[in-house]
Amino acid sequence: MDVPPGLGERGSALWEELSGKDVARNALVLEAARLADRLDELDNIIQGNGVLNLMQFRLHLDEIDDDGDRNINVEVKFAAPLAEARQQAIAFATILTKLTPAEAAAKPKAAPAAAPMAANVTPLDRIKARGLKKA
C-alpha cells in the first residue's frame, strides 16, 4: 500500500509497518503516523532546532467612546510546545494501544499468593513472616 502524502520519515515507517487492508485500522495508523511526525517536529522545537511562532498577537479595535477616544486592545498568546508535546504523546500512545491490543494486554505474571496464616497470628508475626520470605 502506498504511503500517504505528507508523512515524514518516522510516520512513513510506521505506516509501512502497520497498515493493511482494514480501512478503520488504516485510519488509526494514519493518525498515529501523523502524530509520530508531529512529535518529531515538537522535539526539534523543544531542542531549539525547529521553527515555531511562539507568540500570537491579535489587535482588537473597538469603537470610539463618548470622549472621542478609541479603545485598542492587544491580545498576546504564548505557545506551549512542552505541553503540546505531552498531549500529542498521550494521543500517540492511546492510538498505538488500540492498534496493538495483544502487546498492550500482556502483563507480567503476578507472584503466587501467600498461604493464609492461622487466625491466632498477630500482625507483628505476619510482618516478621513476610520479612523472612523476602530475605
Q: State residue 135's pLDDT score.
A: 47
CB 19 within 8 A of CB 26: yes
Instruction: Give backbone dihedrals phi and psi of 55, rounded to 5 degrees, phi first.
Output: -125, 140
Confidence (pTM): 0.54
User: Cα separation of 59 and 75, whole Å?
Assistant: 6
User: Residue-wise pLDDT tens for the chain (135 aa)?
Assistant: 789 999 999 999 999 999 999 898 999 999 999 999 999 988 887 787 766 666 677 777 776 777 777 777 777 776 777 788 888 899 888 888 888 875 545 555 555 555 565 667 777 777 777 776 554
C-alpha cell at 36: 509520530
User: Cα separation of 28 and 35, whole Å?
Assistant: 10
